[in-house]
Every structure is written in C-alpha cells, then in structure tokens.
Structure 1
Amino acid sequence: MTFTGLYVPMITPFDASGSVALDALASLAHQAMDAGAAGLVALGTTGEPTTLSETEQREVLDVLTSVSRERRARLLVGANSIEALRALDKRPDVTAALCLVPPFLRPGGAGVLAHFTHLTQARPVPLVAYHVPYRTGQQLSADDLRRLADLTGIVGIKHAVGGIDTDTIDFLADIRPGFAVLGGEDQFISPLLALGAHGGILASAHVATADFVQLIELWHDDDPARARALGHKLAALSAALFAEPNPAVIKSVLHAQGRIPTPAVRLPLLPAGAEATRAALQRLDDLVSVPR
C-alpha cells in the first residue's frame, strides 16, 4: 500500500457561537473528494487539535470517518502517543496514523528511530512519520530518514523541512519500494514532486483542490512544462495562504467563498487580516490563467 496523490489536512470550522461547525466540515470533506483528493487528514495541526476538547476531537473524527467510508477514501489521523494510537483500534476505517517526530527534546536521529520503533509496537494501523524540523527542533539526515523508512509499520513520511535541502535530494534518490514521501511544505511541493515525491499533504488544497491534484498528476505523467507553469502559480497561492499563521488565512478565504460560517480560529491563533485575505483571493483568481 503506497500512499500517492493529494491528502487534504482538514481545518476545523467554527460557527458563530464558537462551536465546531460539523456540517461545514462534512461539506468541505466532500468537496475535497469531489475535486479528486485521494484522502483526508483528521486532527492534523491545520485542524487546531490542541484547542479542541476530547468531545470535539471525537466529533470531528466521526464526521471525517463517515465521509471517508462513504467515499471509499483513505483517512489519516494525527496521533502522537501510544494511547492515541491504541484509541484508533476501535476505528477500522482509519488507514494510517500521522505521527510527529518528537518535538522540542531533540533526541537525535537514534532517539527518533527508537521512538518510532516503540510506537510501531502498539500500532493498530500503519504509521506515517511527520518530519517538520523547524517546528520540532529535530533535524534528520538522509541516512536517518532511510533507517526510519526501513522500520516495519512505517509506510510513509510527511516531509516538510522548509525547502529542498541536500538531505532531501539524497533521500529522494533512494526510496525503498512501498514507502511514500508526501510533501508537507506547500510552497515547495512542485520541486519535491519533480524529485520523486509520491504526493502531498497540503493545507493550501482546501481552496485549490483540483489544481493540486492536477499538479501531482502532471509530474507523475512526465509533463514537466505544464507542471512547472502550474507549480509556480500554486507556490504563489501557498505563500499567500501562509502569510499569517496557518490556518488563519485559509479559513478567511473559505469564509469569503461562503464555504464555512465564520473565519474564526482559536487562541493562541488570531484571525487573518483583511489584506492577507485579499492577497490570497487574488492569487486564487490568478489560477484561471494557467493553461489546462
């Protein structure tokens, strides 16, 4: 089972009372599937999971599980501990768990490998590692990444290192069969796909799902000229959507489109400014000029 294509890490929309807007969440998930996404991600960082109560987390997961089952789509769920992984044992529709490299402690490559080895011992589902060193503080070398990929039970990685560095190039030159590299750095997804990534977990795809699906297909179909043209446009869109802390601008754009009831985020995040929203909407409009 190799994960390919686009996976949308779902936001958590809120209504005017501050409650989770579950109907809007279901609509967004169906829209993503209608536009060609391969699957959804529940309770990832884009969904503001640390601000949700246990009841809200369960409700969000119930909604996205239902959509995934109905659409026969893959569902990844953010889970970073043995306890969180064991809780997925009661959810047979979950395809894989998205597990963050241990943050803040910086245990080194050997410590990261030991941590994931420990997680795999209790896994009810396969694991996708989430490597985002500018958030966790933990760098991993190409050799570390290859050793991680060799662990039984680890089926892929969300790779978000802030750009295209030498370790990324080295790692992508030698990927074991069956292991998926999913880009998680929205602005750099096009060059990552050009180097051999299998797909992406991309928050920007909330507002341009079909375009990101097409970008992945163009690189996989060996159509670099069209892929580069679309990739440049999508990189500009992603830069605008991440101009303020994620997912504030994405929520503001979705609200402007009438797709969610409010643009609200929960503290410590703040709502996106009007100028950032206007800039992102303009970048979205620019996509219509890209040849299809």
Structure 2
Amino acid sequence: MTLTGLFIPLITPFDAGGAVALDSLEALARRMLEAGASGLVALGTTGEPSSLTEAERQAVVDVAAIVCREHDAKLIVGAGTPQALEDLRGRGEVHAALTVVPPFVRPGEAGTIAYLTQLAANSPVPLVIYHVPYRTGQALSASALTRLGSLPGVVGVKYAAGITEDAIELMAALPPHFAVLGGDDLFISPLLALGAQGGILASAHLATEQFVALIDAWHTGDVATARALGHRLARLSRALFAEPNPTVIKAALHAQGLIPTPAVRLPLLPAGHHSLTALDVLIPA
C-alpha cells in the first residue's frame, strides 16, 4: 500500500448541546473527499480524541469509514496503544493507524524504535508513525525513521518536524513503500519540493482544492504553480494555527455554515474573534 496525496485529519464538530454532531461530520467528510482529498484521518489530534468518550470515538470512526467507502478513499485512524490498535482488528475499511511517537516519557531513540517495532509487529493494520517532537518531546533522527520505515508493518510517517538537516537526509534515501506525509502545515510546500508523497494537513479543511492542487503541482513538476500556491497557503496555515489547533479551524468552518458551532472541549478554549478576522482575506472564495 502506497499513501500519496492529501489526507485531512477531521475535526469533531459539536452541536449546541455539546454532543458530537455526526451529521455535520459526515457532510464535512464528504465535502473534503469531493474536493479531491485522497483520504481522511479520524481521531487525529485535530479531532480532540482525548476529550471524546469511547462511544463517541467509535461513532466518529464509523462515520469516516462510511464516507471513505463511498468514495473509495483511504481511512487512517489515530491509535497509539496496543489496545487502541487491537480495537481496529476486523475493520477492513481502515487502511492504517496513525501512531504517535511515545509522548512525555522521552525514552530515547533506541527505546522509541523498540516500542514502535513491537507495536507494528502486533498491529492488525499498518502504522503511519506520527513524528511531532515539539509535542512529544522525543526527536528522531533520519536514520531512526529510516529504520522504522524499513519495517514491514510501517508504511509511512506524518512528518511534523519542520525542514531540517534530518528532513533532507530522510528524503534523500527513503525505504521502498515508505511514504513521507507532511504534517507541519506551514512547511508542506518545501517538504513536497524535497519529494514528500503528500500531507496530513488540518489547514486543508479550508481551501481543500488548493491544497490538492499544491500537491499535484509538485508531483508533476509545475514549479511555478507550486511556489505561488505554497506561499499563499502557508499564510493561511499560519493564520489557522494562530491559536491552539483546531480552535481557529472550527471558528472558520462555523463562520462558513459548515458546522453547527465553533465549540471545543476543555482544556481548549474557543478562538478569539481577532483570529477569525485575520482569515477573511486568506480563505479563497
């Protein structure tokens, strides 16, 4: 299985009573895929999974699975523990699990590799490693990611570590069938220029078609189009991440009438009005 193109880590919309708005989630998922996204990510960080009940998490996955099946799209589900991965057994519509590098513990590269190797060996679905060191506190070198990418149960990495020497080294010698999907929205264009296969981009809830076009432009060698789009979408991403994710994205979707409320659950707080105002000139018509 090769992962390529745009994947959108779905927000979880809430209704006026605070419940998960499943109808809005379904409509939003359809909108993203009809705009050209290759697939969806359910229960990623953008979906606030830690604030959902087990029943809510299952309902979110069920909705995403239905829509992906309708559109012949790939579904990735956030799952970072042995039990969460085991819960995906028998769910044939799930193509891979997005598995974060162990946060907070900071076990070092050797411990991280050993842990993820064990998870991959026992998982019922392939893993996409989520490398986001500014959240987990655990950096991984290009050589560590290459080792993980060589495992038969690992198909890719969501790379959210900016553009560094490690990123350049990783892109220069990727293992076969190992996809690099950019996950640091601000840096997606330069990572695609280095050869990334696609992105898992929360910003693509807005301007979905333009993010699809950005990936296509780099893949087809249309550098002039890619550069112009990349600069424009980087400004959009910066504005969407002006406050903790996904607060500004939810505010923007609500302002467009795509979700019933801009609500988030604690410990997040709703985005301020100033953040939404700053988006007015950045969101394509």
TM-score > 0.5 by shorter chain = yes
Displacement of 1:92: 1.1
Please name the residue that 1:129 is paired with: 129
C-alpha distance in structure 2 between counterparts of 1:61 and 1:220, whole Å: 30
Please name the residue that 2:157 is paired with: 157
Residue 184 of structure 2 is aligned to residue 185 of structure 1? yes
Displacement of 1:150: 1.0
Please name the residue that 1:76 is paired with: 76
Contact 1:40 1:76 in 2 (8 A): yes
**Residue pairs, 1:3-82, within 5 angstroms:** 3-82=3-82
Please name the residue that 2:273 is paired with: 274
CA distance change for structure 1 residues 121 and 177 in 2, over 3 Å: closer, same or farther?
closer
Query: Does the residue aligned with 2:282 lie in a helix, a strand or coil?
Result: helix
C-alpha distance in structure 2 between counterparts of 1:140 and 1:261, whole Å: 39
Please name the residue that 1:104 is paired with: 104
RMSD: 0.8
C-alpha distance in structure 2 between counterparts of 1:177 and 1:80, whole Å: 24
C-alpha distance in structure 2 between counterparts of 1:199 and 1:189, whole Å: 8
Displacement of 1:47: 0.1
Residue 111 of structure 2 is aligned to residue 119 of structure 1? no
C-alpha distance in structure 1 between counterparts of 2:66 and 2:112, whole Å: 33
Contact 1:146 1:175 in 2 (8 A): yes
Contact 1:253 1:281 in 2 (8 A): no
Displacement of 1:208: 1.0
- Length-normalised TM-score, structure 2: 0.99
C-alpha distance in structure 1 between counterparts of 2:252 and 2:108, whole Å: 39
Please name the residue that 1:88 is paired with: 88
Displacement of 1:201: 0.1
Counterpart residue type for residue 221 of structure 1: T
Displacement of 1:283: 1.1
Residue 200 of structure 2 is aligned to residue 201 of structure 1? yes
Displacement of 1:281: 2.8
Kindly provide the CA deviation profile for residues 156-200 of structure 1, in whole angstroms up to 9, marking residues without a partner as x: 000001x20111111111112211000000010000000010000
C-alpha distance in structure 1 between counterparts of 2:184 and 2:20, whole Å: 27
C-alpha distance in structure 2 between counterparts of 1:279 and 1:132, whole Å: 27
Query: Does the residue aligned with 2:7 lie in a helix, a strand or coil?
Result: strand
Counterpart residue type for residue 132 of structure 1: V
Aligned residues: 285
Counterpart residue type for residue 158 of structure 1: K
C-alpha distance in structure 1 between counterparts of 2:117 and 2:148, whole Å: 9
C-alpha distance in structure 2 between counterparts of 1:150 and 1:54, whole Å: 33
C-alpha distance in structure 2 between counterparts of 1:151 and 1:58, whole Å: 28
**Residue pairs, 1:222-233, within 5 angstroms:** 222-233=221-232
Displacement of 1:90: 2.7
- Length-normalised TM-score, structure 1: 0.96
Kindly provide the CA deviation profile for residues 211-252 of structure 1, in whole angstroms up to 9, marking residues without a partner as x: 000000000000111100000000000000000000000000
Gaps of 5+ in 2: none
Gaps of 5+ in 1: none
Kindly provide the CA deviation profile for residues 248-275 of structure 1, in whole angstroms up to 9, marking residues without a partner as x: 0000000000000000000000001111
Query: Does the residue aligned with 1:212 lie in a helix, a strand or coil?
Result: helix
C-alpha distance in structure 1 between counterparts of 2:226 and 2:120, whole Å: 36
Please name the residue that 1:236 is paired with: 235
Counterpart residue type for residue 188 of structure 1: F
Contact 1:101 1:136 in 2 (8 A): yes
| Percent of residue pairs identical | 62
